[in-house]
Amino acid sequence: MNRLELVTGTMRAALNEVATSAPEWVTKAALPEWFTRYATRAEQSRMPRTDPAREDYARQVGKDGFHLLKLLIDQQPTLLKLKKVAILERVWQRHYTRHEDGEVYWRPTAELSKAATAIESPYDTEARFSTKRDLFWTGYKVHLSETCDEHLPHIITNVQTTVATTQDVACTDDIHKQMQKNNLLPSRHLVDTGYVNAQLVVESSRKYGIELFGPMRLNPSWQAREGGIEATQFQIDWDNRQAQCPMGKQSVYWHEYQTREYSRPVVKIRFKPQDCAVCFSRKQCVRSKKAGRSLQIPGRQLYEALEQTRRKLASSEGRNEYRKRAGIEGTISQGVRRGTLRRSRYQGLEKTHLQEVATATAINIVRAVNYLNMELPAKTRVSRFARLAN
């Protein structure tokens, strides 16, 4: 639901819960227009179409919410503990602001707090709003892992469910922990770009004995985007703490440190400005007219793991091996088309996860049956299927 539907639906949900707990009080205290304004669900009502009218309507809903909260504080303070009333307070804090004169204002979208902590539905407070390229949704994410052995059915071995705002890269270690718990760790884990970085490659090998294999994120520098001289073209001499550019110039500055946010080892490298000033490849390397080229690369262990993964994926053997990951896209499609991976029938993360596990189990059963039917003689297929289904 959009913002206007959210605040309207939240007000309606709060009124319904209060009416269930104190029906006689609501009948006396509620404003007459509330019964018509919130009688039906927000998505079933005709909302204003123009922006000014929608903003006026949003402010009116905000005034109604603040009025209800004031009535509860003055007359029914015990009802403030109701779940939907508490949700109303949180939603109003995010979407409205009230000045000293008591006037209610509808916050612009740019002023809203982060979506990771925002309530998007009064009926499912764990659901979150997220976007991925041209796709946007409110709810959760599901992460599937399956086997890809040749001549065997591809069975889903792990289902990970998170809120929609959780980044894919934050799920990789949790997936490995769950697979280790179930004794289902693979020797090589083929993953999408979103699930892999240099640190995860190192940690997966050290903690689980897994080779995490997948394409690394593209270099975001302008040199990489515009076909210039990017960091991977420099030769790094770790033992002597020095770098050499493609033109043969040596670095003059080397500093190793830990990032504050993630505590990851980083190396800062700089080249002499005088060397870069006379270089005929300067335009493809550095834009500053005074400073020389500088590099910021991960620490040695991470850098070497990054380069090793890229070399493997660039080889013909690595490309052939990574093609096996395409099968998981078919599994996701199967879960969406035949199952309910994109439509949760339940509220909350825990129940949604249970639904997705059931969908994965159904897919596994179908694949096992199909595999047995291919392997068994024709006369025994029906009876074996019946025993498996029962």
Q: For residue 156, give the CATH number of its domain.
A: 3.30.420
Which of 90-99, 253-262, 340-349 has the highest average model confidence (pLDDT)?
90-99
pLDDT of 248 over the 60 cut: yes
Residue 19 belongs to some domain of the structure? yes
Residues 78, 14: one domain? yes
Residues 27, 14: one domain? yes
Residue 235 belongs to some domain of the structure? yes
pLDDT of 382 over the 70 cut: no
Is residue 76 within 8 A of residue 28, CB to CB? The reply is no
> In the prediction, which pLDDT does 377 show?
62
Where is the domain boundary, 83, 117, 151? Answer: 117
Residue 263 belongs to some domain of the structure? yes
Q: What is the DSSP letter of 249?
A: P
Q: Look at 188-192, 349-353, 378-382 and tell me which has the smallest mean pLDDT.
A: 378-382
Beta bridge partners of 135: 132
Please report which confidence band the pLDDT of residue 386 belongs to, taking 50, 70 and 90 as the band edges: very low
Residue 304 belongs to some domain of the structure? no
Residues 325, 210: one domain? yes
pLDDT tens-digit readout, 117-154: 899 999 999 999 888 888 888 899 999 999 998 888 89
Please report which confidence band the pLDDT of residue 376 belongs to, taking 50, 70 and 90 as the band edges: low
> In the prediction, which pLDDT does 44 show?
66
Residues 234, 294: one domain? yes
> In the prediction, which pLDDT does 385 show?
42
pLDDT of 389 over the 60 cut: no
> In the prediction, which pLDDT does 109 show?
87
Residue 303 belongs to some domain of the structure? no
Residue 229 belongs to some domain of the structure? yes
Which of 219, 192, 184, 189 lies closest to 205 in space, CA to CA?
189
Please report which confidence band the pLDDT of residue 356 belongs to, taking 50, 70 and 90 as the band edges: very high
Residues 203, 333: one domain? yes
Residues 142, 195: one domain? yes
Determine the Cα–Cα distance for residues 257 and 266; give it in Å rounded to an integer. Answer: 5
At CA 24, angle to CA 23 and CA 25, rounded to 5? 95
> In the prediction, which pLDDT does 375 show?
63
**Maximal C-alpha separation, the chain:** 86
pLDDT of 383 over the 70 cut: no
Residues 110, 32: one domain? yes
> In the prediction, which pLDDT does 302 show?
93
Residue 107 token pair = 């916050």
Residues 227, 206: one domain? no
Residues 24, 101: one domain? yes
- How many domains is the chain built from? 3
Residues 35, 93: one domain? yes
pLDDT of 388 over the 50 cut: no
Residue 108 belongs to some domain of the structure? yes
At CA 170, angle to CA 197 and CA 347, rounded to 5? 150
The residue that leads in pLDDT, 283 or 261, is 283
Residues 9, 100: one domain? yes
Please state the rounded mean pLDDT for residues 228-250.
94
For the chain, what is the mean pLDDT?
Answer: 89
At CA 36, angle to CA 34 and CA 42, rounded to 5? 90
Give me the half-sphere count of Cα atoms (radius 13 Å) on the Cβ side of residue 244: 7
Please state the rounded mean pLDDT for residues 273-285.
92
Please state the rounded mean pLDDT for residues 82-92.
96
Determine the Cα–Cα distance for residues 240 and 258; give it in Å rounded to an integer. Answer: 20
How many other C-beta atoms can be found within 10 angstroms of the C-beta atom of residue 209? 11
Please report which confidence band the pLDDT of residue 188 belongs to, taking 50, 70 and 90 as the band edges: very high
Is residue 67 within 8 A of residue 31, CB to CB? The reply is yes
Where is the domain boundary, 69, 94, 117? Answer: 117
Where is the domain boundary, 67, 86, 117? Answer: 117
Residue 145 belongs to some domain of the structure? yes
> In the prediction, which pLDDT does 384 show?
42
> In the prediction, which pLDDT does 370 show?
84
Domain ranges, residue 134: 129-217+319-383
Residues 26, 67: one domain? yes
